[in-house]
Amino acid sequence: MKQPNNTYLAEFNIARLIAPKEDPRVAGFMNAIDQINGLGSRMSGFVWLMQGDMTLTMDSSSSNPEENTRLIPNLTVWQDAASLENFVFNTVHKQFFERRAEWFEILGKMHFVMWWVAKGHRPTKIEAMERLEYLRKNGESDHAFGWKYLKETNILQSNDSIKAAE
């Protein structure tokens, strides 16, 4: 899919920690969040990162509220897919991506979505959850998609471990 004119790429993903945020088992990840976000914000092509209250629920039917406190959402905007791809797979971020099984549960359902936004638009967490839900129900389309939908990305097309993660 070719990027529409006058748009940027929004990206949203959710992960659930295997333990509470203060637990030593997830300290390696929690201690690096600011470093990784700082690196991302200095990357060529970075536009915006939602900061502040990113509290959300993955499943409103969850009977365990503690599960939702372990959710780590991330919502960013990039100039294009190549910029996001470069950050995710060509920086120290890749090391954390490859170690995700140490810190995060397998969610069992789609937890990553991308979509095009008008330049200047800052998506909300509600918008991001709606796009993710749309992707879960309808599959990839111009409205909501994953890496495989973006034919112009290079790293994903040639890396089997990354393909398997999606």
Q: Which residues pair with 73 in a beta bridge?
A: 14
Q: Burial of 79 by CB count in 10 Å (0-12 exposed, 13-18 middle, 19+ buried)?
A: middle
Q: Give me the half-sphere count of Cα atoms (radius 13 Å) on the Cβ side of residue 24.
A: 0
pLDDT digits (tens, 9 = 90+) for 152-163: 666 555 555 444
Tell me whether residue 88 is in a domain.
yes
pTM equals: 0.85
CATH number at residue 96: 3.30.70.100
Q: Domain containing 43: what range?
A: 7-165
Distance of CA 150 to the CA centre of its chain: 15
pLDDT tens digits for 133-153?
A: 999 999 999 999 998 888 766
The count of domains in the chain is 1
Give yes or no for residue 67 having a pLDDT over 60.
no
